[in-house]
């Protein structure tokens, strides 16, 4: 069964991407422009220049899965990428808020127990 959950690492690509790209084009960006392993099971997020379309590419056993979201109205928030990196790690919960249109700029997290 395929799906996205909080056990997966999510990485947002910094630059606007031509959303017409498919499996080969998007995986080529990851392989050629970053040091990340495309077959690791991590999910890579790409957003277009108008910020109204998003694709998430992930390798699962046996092949790639491509998730596609097109907004009929509004735009996706631009996340601030720290350290001037090409790819930014995004928390699953922040990704869900991004997809649902929640402004994440002023969010404060309450303390929770985390295992090391």
pLDDT, one tens digit per residue, over 47-81 is 999 999 999 999 998 899 999 999 999 999 887 77
Q: Degrees (nearest 5) of the Cα angle 80, 96, 35?
A: 55
Residue 61 maps to a domain: yes
Residue 111 maps to a domain: no
Question: Which structural domain range is residue 75 located in?
Answer: 10-100
Tokens of 2: 């395929």
Residue 108 maps to a domain: no
Residue 81 CB neighbour total at 10 angstroms: 16
State how many domains the chain has.
1
pLDDT recorded at residue 2:
63
Residue 86 maps to a domain: yes
């Amino acid at each position: 069964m395929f799906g996205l959950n909080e056990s997966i690492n999510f990485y947002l690509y910094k630059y606007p991407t031509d959303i017409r790209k498919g499996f080969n084009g998007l995986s080529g960006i990851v392989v050629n422009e970053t040091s990340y392993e495309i077959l690791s099971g991590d999910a890579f997020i790409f957003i277009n220049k108008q910020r109204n379309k998003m694709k998430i590419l992930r390798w699962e056993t046996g092949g790639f899965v491509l998730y596609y979201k097109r907004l009929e109205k509004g735009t996706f928030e631009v996340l601030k990428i720290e350290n001037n990196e090409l790819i930014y790690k995004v928390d699953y919960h922040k990704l869900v808020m991004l997809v649902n249109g929640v402004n994440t700029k002023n969010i404060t997290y309450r303390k929770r127990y985390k295992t090391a």
